[in-house]
């Protein structure tokens, strides 16, 4: 069992109605972490986090980064106390 923290920004923050949250997870992969978040915050969060076609993490218009600013993928292993930040992937103007 490890504790992982989530930070939500922009649209994620709106869906979660909070800026941050923590989860205790048994299986220490990102996909399990994402599943916990979806379970807690419902179908719209699922639509944002999970690609319905592939059941993988949704890449479209999103950005999930670890503390080093590297994008995480579904199979990555998380460590106790790690923070994953959920951002929207939009650039330009």
Provide, rounded to whole angstroms, the least separation between the CB of residue 63 and other proteins: 5
Note whether 75 binds other proteins by CB under 8 A.
no
Provide, rounded to whole angstroms, the least separation between the CB of residue 51 and other proteins: 9
Residues 11-30 within binding reach of other proteins (CB under 8 A): 11, 13-15
Q: Which two three-digit tokens encode residue 65?
A: 């980064």
Return the number of the residue (24 or 75) whose C-beta is nearest other proteins.
Answer: 75
Rg of the chain, C-alpha, whole Å:
12
Strand 2-8 relative to strand 83-88: parallel, antiparallel, unpaired? Answer: parallel
Provide, rounded to whole angstroms, the least separation between the CB of residue 26 and other proteins: 27
Distance between CA atoms of 2 and 41, rounded to whole angstroms?
20
Distance between CA atoms of 44 and 49, rounded to whole angstroms?
9
Dihedral (CA of 11, 15, 20, 25) sign: negative
Catalog residues that contact other proteins under the rule CB under 8 A. 7, 9-11, 13-15, 43-44, 47-48, 52, 58-63, 65, 68-71, 73, 85, 87-93
């Amino acid at each position: 069992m490890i504790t992982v923290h989530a930070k939500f920004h922009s649209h994620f923050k709106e869906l979660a109605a909070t800026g941050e949250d923590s989860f205790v997870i048994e299986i220490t992969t990102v996909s399990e972490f994402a599943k916990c978040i979806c379970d807690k915050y419902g179908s719209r969060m699922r639509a944002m986090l999970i690609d319905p076609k592939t059941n993988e993490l949704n890449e479209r218009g999103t950005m999930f980064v670890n503390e080093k600013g590297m994008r995480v993928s579904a199979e990555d292993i998380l460590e106790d106390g790690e923070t994953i930040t959920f951002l929207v992937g939009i650039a330009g103007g």
